[in-house]
Chains A and B, each alone.
Chain A
Amino acid sequence: MNRVDGKVALITGGARGIGGMSAQVLAQGGAKIVITDLREEEAGVTLAAIKAAGGDAKFFRHDVAQEDQWAAAVKFATDSYGGVDILLNNAGIGGSTRPLEELTLESWRHLLSINLDGVFLGFKHCIPSMKSRAHMWAGGGSIISISSIMGLVGGARQMAYCASKGGVRLLTKAAAIELAPSKIRVNSVHPGFISTPLLMGEMERMEKRSQGLGKRYQSNIEAMHPLGHMGKDLDIANAVCFLASDDAAFMTGTELVVDGGYTAQ
């Protein structure tokens, strides 16, 4: 559809799941893609899929919690493709489901270092390149961060996760205001439960602990979504592509909620 034709996208956690599918959709839209992740093998599979569909993509091994690796990732994108126009902060973890009073500071900090600090570092290191290129596009540069319904509503035993996702939501708004004069738009996407390797892995672990536990968990989750099912990677990737395109030229500082109605009730 060439809706992001000629743009360069850097996607964290791009090896699989939401990141992997977003990479494929943006590539189909004509963007050149840098996938960053710690999962090299899975990234290889995603790269192969993109290339088989005629797209252009590279992989960079990257821990989003590390500031010097952010600098290196952006340099890699600039050396490979000339700069960055679209940043998708997708890398994230689910984290501990311990009750609040048992949550260790270490566990809290670890999750925040990836889910929140990693997003801040992404903004900080991509902005110089994005500023120099924003004039090329009717809708300017586009920073998109994957938050969650848990950045809108709370959940028991999700302290660090909710804090990180709510943080991403408001960091997004602050950055949007600051970067608007530079023609860089900043928005967050809030998925409901999505059938991703992250979630499916969690349910498998539950099944192993106790037969039927994972399946009941899945049914319960499905029932919480008015549409009656979980979302797919593609549902989020399509929202990402919309925000990355010039179709969203007047959208900044806002939340795009893709949750099958979860937060409507």
Chain B
Amino acid sequence: MPFAIEVEDLEKTFKGDIRALSGVTFSVEEGTVFGLLGPNGAGKTTVVRILTTILQPDVGLARVLGHDVVREPDVVRTLFGLAGQYAAVDENLTGRENLVMVSRLNNMSKSASRQRAGELLGEFDLVDASDRVLKTYSGGMRRRLDVAAALVTRPRVLFLDEPTTGLDPKSRNDLWDVIEQLVATGTTVLLTTQYLDEADRLAQRIAVVDHGQVISQGTPTELKANFGDSVLELGFANEGDASKAITSLTALGGHPAHLLGTSVEMTLEGGAANVISALRTLDDVELAPTTFAVREPSLDDVFLSLTGHQAVDAAPAGDLDAATASKRQRRGGRAQ
């Protein structure tokens, strides 16, 4: 079986003609981490909900370890673990009770459930908190317990739906370490994220999703070739200067420079050498930037280079509705 997850031409329209997915196709090789990268409302969570049998697609195929999610949902449900941004764990139970409950619901015996809960609490560094009610857990601890709950059956496939959204940097790093350890044991992971650095760090392949479609797909290196290693941000006194700067910088070749008000953004390959040559070019035409910064590329930059618009601004009213619709779905909106 070459692919652990296969998705073909998935389409899904929610009530009120809200198109969440319009033909999504990708495959994930067994034992790899695949990142679905995109802004809110792009359709990432809808893909995960279809793959985890929570939602049925209107059109298209989805398979987990070769099993069709629509025709064999009972089998598929025994194959994967799911954890996500909402950390759907029970607040009134302790960490241990949550893990025992999920193990029991996975049809494990009482003693096996207890034993597995103990193991996972140790692996996820929750031993001290194991008999405390979840209400007393921090956001990072909850998220760790949520991932632990997804692993009770040692599934070969793990879905992580925005696992670090809303976490502080320390908790994010901790969770990344956990995910990396999992991958080392051969688990296939489908990760959705809004963060480029997260996808870059964890995923071997990334699909960039926008408006329910995959707009680009490849290894992080391949994608980065599209949007450079770093972004140069220059502010100018007025739009006139900024436009002149664009003209000079464009003459350098390489990535196009973008005008954002009175500032200019340009993605650059390589390191310092290119920054120096860009600044030298401006100095030659006597343009002095008022502000200057070099930063890592963000999701916005990816979108800017792939679609010509920014990720946040990219979502029109309809697409934001899709986000709300999928949220309402989760809360109990109609499934079909």
Same complex origin of A and B: no
Interfacial residues, chain B to chain A (CB-CB below 8 A): none
Chain A residues close to B by CB (< 8 Å): none
